[in-house]
Structure 1
Amino acid sequence: MPPTKKAKKAAAAGGGDLTGALPDAMLHRILSLLPAQEAVRTCVLARRWRHLWRSAPGLRVVRAAGRPPATVEELQGFVDHLLLLRGGSPLDTCELSFDQIRRQDIPRVNLWIRHIVMCKVRVLVLHFHPHCQLDKLPLVSQHLTRLELSGLILNDSFLDFSSCPALDYLDIVQCYFSSSLTNITSQSLKRLRIIKCYTGSRPHVHATNLVSLHLDTITRTPVLERLPSLVKADIKLNSQCRDFCSFDDFSGGCNHEFCGGCRGVQAENCVLLRGLSEAKNLALVAETKMFVFRRDLKWCPIFRNLKTLLLNECWCVPSDLSALACILQHSPVLEKLTLQLFSMGPKHKVEMKGSRHPSGVSAAMLKYLEIVEVKCEVVDESVLDVLKFLSSLNICFTFKK
């Protein structure tokens, strides 16, 4: 569509730039998507552009395309002046990403973050490499709704979000929990992701309004306090997790002097399952030697709301299907069960779909169960044992390759 007369007149006034005919709100949006260095350079385009960048609601101090890695040492003068000239202009989103941070740079970075928080930022993304130790003071913001952290050394104080009453989403990726006892505390948090993080001890999650939880590749399984609002949880514990028994003890109590995973865990109560007991949808996947899930079954709660459940082979140890039996017995309203056995997927060579016969042994225990899926690479003896167990619950299968 050709530009209107009004747009042509505005373009002529702006020095022939058709983009200059756009309203300020749209230009601010465009500037918010640019790296900060490029956004500032637009001040030379025309008189109208001179100060637009100062009030853009988005700020991205990141590595620009085709540029060398962004380091604090090289950008400190630029960022200092950038924040000074912006003053207290409100920020909707802000991203700070640096590929190199020296020890002496950390106080300056902490000051930048505090200034950005004072600008009422709603979405804050912090990505640092190598790991950076942030301020030990907790964040205080009435406006922060989303926080994404990557490459940070996190302490107990920083993870106390009780002074961030609007915080809804927390994403922690490739971070290091430095405290011997780390608490993630928030009364407003609804979505939490912790992925590829190192923890010296078990973090404790206190988030009573949490709706969605995703844990994947964490060195110590966190202790989940009561999560009464939880709807969905996806838990994956792989071999990098230290809750791993080197001597095939699935109770978490072999206490062998050379087993760093099991030692000292006997005194702890239920770690995961009690906190997950209110969820409607669960995916519980772990390496076979992981003992956390099976150990938690000693205190297994009733999953009163659970409708869909995905499990892998760690729940089906050869010649011992007691873990699978236990969680099914404690899931009275379960509607769909998926067993992903010795197959990572997403494509599986063998898929079997089954359903419960309305009469028989399982009628009382699984009376709402409608769909059972078994996915695997090959139907070997271990898979056959699982199928026999399910058959004893009056579940019949059809095969699909």
Structure 2
Amino acid sequence: MPRGKTVKGAVQQPAGGSGGIESLPDGILEHILGFLPSAEAVRTSVLARRWRHLWKSATGLCVGCCDPDQQVSVEDLRSLVNHLLILRRGSPLEKCYFTFDAELISDDDVSHVNLWFRHVVTCKVHVLSLFIFGRSSGEPRLEQDNLPLRSQHLRRLELTTVQVHNSLLNFSNCPALDHLKIVDCKLSSVNKIVSESLKHLCIDLSVGSCDSHIRIYTPNVASLRLERFEGRTPILEGMPSLLEACVKITHSCRDYCTNANFFWTCDCGSCDSSDSAANGSINCVLLRGLSEANSLALKSDYGMFIFKRDLRWCPVFTNLKTLLLNCYWYVPDDFRALACSLEHSPVLEKLTFELHEWFGYKVQIKLRVSSMKRSSAISEHLKKVEINCQKVDNTVLKVLKFLCAFNICKITCNAPHSFIFLTFTVMSIYMKESMQPSKLVRKS
């Protein structure tokens, strides 16, 4: 290349230097500054004349307790953040993270946090997170304004340990939103979550109303996680685009039955309430909304009647290929719930049981279904069945006996101390059922 000429668009090296961070374009430096805590990003203004205003156009904001060893209260941040947002003059943001310690938030701070939250939405932010940590049991969460969000640019919203009202979760005016994560939030005044653009939804450890169900209308969601919800179980409306879902109902849920023999024979007022028994499948709480999924993990603690109630009008899972169930779906000597779910899964390929997950899994049993002699009540595509458990106990043996009707032809066990016992037990089961003994193969 002739001396004195440069390639068009190339960045010139500073005189007497070999490049480095100073050689980077402003756009890249503004992106890098977005990863720094906002206070540190502002301090870069003293580095050189070029850096004086770069922080005002940083593509990200990190406000609050970014370092666990350096806690800062909202009150101490007020002046900095107020001036920061004013001097930025609405520069567009790719991401913004607010992180505060619950113990360092006073009642007077709530209005400031809400104002900052609303302001960054007007800055065309794409990813917005409000994370409150360190809340002790019983302490109030930071309460957000009961106002809807309006943004053509917001794509991801994460709320942790805040109190949310109804209007905020109506995302009709956020057409780009595709990720919503709600963790440990108070939703007692919420009656509906609405978004036609949402693709991924996670609600975990949150508290709803004890008197009414939250209706979730997200027709285009592809991934759903609903776990450990306290209050009445949310109602899932149609989700025709759903690919995978994990639903776990625990004892914190309000929908429980106190009858010890709850599963199929109970006819108490809770299990047979009129709002569930009158109008058939339209009153399904969860299963109707999950019926289009390709992969499902359905877990529940004993005594919770939502899945039991939904099974009365169990829809056909026309696309379901992978199903994971826990002990809820079969009580001792009663496999009707399990049988019902299998009968309504015509294209099921893989079935997994997780037994006593709170103890951890030390044993994995893999089974295959015979292609020659199988029950007509199950999917012809079902090839793999797995049992994950802590040990081979009476529950595992009863599950194996139930599965014998599916003509299991091969068993692989990864626990050497359980293998011999399992071998003789399964062979005994087959003999009692007048079937050919299975071919058992020890996992290498």
Please give the TM-score of this superposition, normalised by the length of structure 1.
Answer: 0.90
Could you tell me how far 1:79 is from its partner in structure 2? 0.8
Q: Relative to 1, partners in 2 of residues 1:317 and 1:266: Cα closer, same or farther, differing over 3 Å?
A: farther
Which of 193, 198, 203 is matched with 1:194 structurally? 203
Change (3 A) 1:396 1:238: farther
Which structure has the greater CA radius of gyration?
Answer: 2
Question: 234-243 vs 293-302, which deviates more?
Answer: 234-243
1:229 to 241, 251, 254: 241
The structural deviation recorded for 1:296 is: 1.1
Please give the alpha-carbon distance, in whole angstroms, between the structure 2 residues aligned to 1:314 and 1:283: 12
* Equivalence map 1:232-243=2 (5 Å): 232-243=244-255
Q: Which amino acid aligns with 1:312?
A: N
Offset at 1:266? 4.6
1:101 to partner: Cα distance: 2.5
Distance in 1 separating the partners of 2:29 and 2:359: 44
1:328-343 alignment, distance < 5 Å: 328-343=342-357
Q: Name the residue aligned to 1:297.
A: 311
Please identify, of 52-61 and 379-388, the stretch whose mean Cα deviation from structure 2 is larger.
379-388
- Cα–Cα, structure 1 residues 389 and 245, in superposed 2: closer, same or farther, change >3 Å? same
Asked if 2 retains the 8 angstrom alpha-carbon contact of 1:352 and 1:374, the reply is yes
3-state SS of 2:398 partner: helix
1:59 equivalent in structure 2 = 61
Q: Percent of counterpart pairs with the same letter?
A: 47
1:259 corresponds to: none
Which residue number corresponds to residue 146 of structure 1?
Answer: 156
Q: Give the letter aligned to residue 267 of structure 1.
A: D
Please name the residue that 1:388 is paired with.
401
Over 3 Å counting, the alpha-carbon distance change for 1:264 and 1:333 in structure 2 is closer
Superposed CA RMSD: 2.3
Give the length in aligned residue pairs. Answer: 387
* Counterpart residue type for residue 177 of structure 1: L
Structure 2: runs of 5+ lacking an equivalent? 1-9, 136-140, 277-282, 416-444
C-alpha displacement of 1:254: 5.8
Residue 5 of structure 1 deviates from its aligned partner by 11
1:373 aligned to 381, 386, 392, which one?
Answer: 386
Aligned equivalents of 2:272, 2:377: Cα separation in 1:
39
For residue 110 of structure 1, what is the aligned residue in structure 2?
Answer: 114
C-alpha displacement of 1:384: 1.4
Q: Which runs of 5+ in 1 are unaligned?
A: 257-261
Give yes or no for contact 2:367–2:384 (8 Å, CA) kept in 1.
yes
Q: 1:309 to 1:160 in 2, by over 3 A?
A: same
Q: Distance in 1 between matches of 2:264 and 2:149?
A: 39
Task: Give how far 1:70 is off.
Answer: 2.9
Partner of 1:161 in structure 2?
171
Offset at residue 333 of structure 1 (A): 0.3
Aligned-partner SS, 2:288: helix
Q: 1:252 to 1:192 in 2, by over 3 A?
A: farther
Superposed displacement of residue 278, structure 1: 0.2
1:140–1:5 Cα change, 3 Å: closer
Tell me: CA distance 1:122–1:10, structure 2 relative to 1, closer, same or farther (3 Å): farther
TM-score, reference length from structure 2: 0.82
Secondary structure at the counterpart of residue 293 of structure 2 = coil
Structure 1 residues 138-147 or 380-389, which shifts more? 380-389
Moved over 6 A (4+): none
Residue 158 of structure 1: CA displacement?
Answer: 0.7
1:93-132 aligned at under 5 Å gives the runs 93-99=95-101, 100-129=104-133, 131-132=141-142
